[in-house]
Amino acid sequence: MSEGDRVNGTEHGRSDVPVSLPAWVADRIRELILRGDLPPGTRLGEEGLSARFGVSRPPLREGLRSLETEGLVVQVPRRGTFVRTVTLQDAYEICTLRDELEHMAVRLGVPVHDAAAMARCREAMARLAAAAAAGDSAGVTEEGFGFHLALVGLSGHGRLEAAFRGLALQMRLCMAMNRRARRSMETLREDAARHSRILDLVEEGDPERVVEALAGHGHTTFVLALRDQLGEGSPAAAAWADRIAAEAAEAS
């Protein structure tokens, strides 16, 4: 397949809206990162990526620069380009902000009076369940984010949903790390079942029970599994991680 085929969107027989080659490369690498196929810290060697995608180095480098601007990769002088490593401070800020936005959305949107918003949640749950049934771990991560986005959409608060979307790349990176951390303790179907229970509580109409379920949702397991690798953070971040560890110990 030629580089031109990719630019014209004809890979795998598609006929999509044309995109530039650097944008195409960035899209492919971004997808691999967010699906967890390229974990944080992975070195993105130009030779291997050029061969993998069948592109020359100039558009590859431009695509990597675009991903650096997004904060997904970092370029280290004389060492190369790496998938960004999530620090304890990163995890603390991303997860606590996510929690606050979701809890606010639930308190605004439950009980649900918007049939279309409720249908969006059910459809997102159906896609998540289908990915789990198919054994698609990366798909479960991707559709899990879609479910939480639909949950925030219950609020009917456009700016709140926009703020949540603004964290999308960072949240999906943490979700991929969390999915890997939970592989030994939870099947994909059990992951889907956790989300299904949240949907059931939404339909029952008690916002505080939904918030309680979200607080114990298991989305910070990766903090325990990777604490030594995440490094140090602020005193608030360290206290947050200690609280997660204490709650996990109490639950076990």
Q: What's the pLDDT tens digit per position in 13-37?
A: 344 545 799 999 999 999 899 888 8
| Structure tokens given for 120 | 């969006």
Domain boundaries, the chain: 3-83, 88-251
pLDDT category of residue 11 using cuts at 50, 70 and 90: very low
Contact 199, 122 (CB under 8 A): yes
pTM (two decimals): 0.83
**Same fold flag, 3-83 and 88-251:** no
Q: Which CATH architecture has domain 88-251?
A: Up-down Bundle (1.20)
The hierarchical CATH code for the domain 3-83 is 1.10.10.10
Q: How far apart are CA 63 and CA 27, in angstroms?
A: 8
What's the pLDDT score for residue 6? 53
C-alpha dihedral sign at 205, 208, 212, 217: positive
Which uninterrupted H or E stretch holds 95? helix 88-109
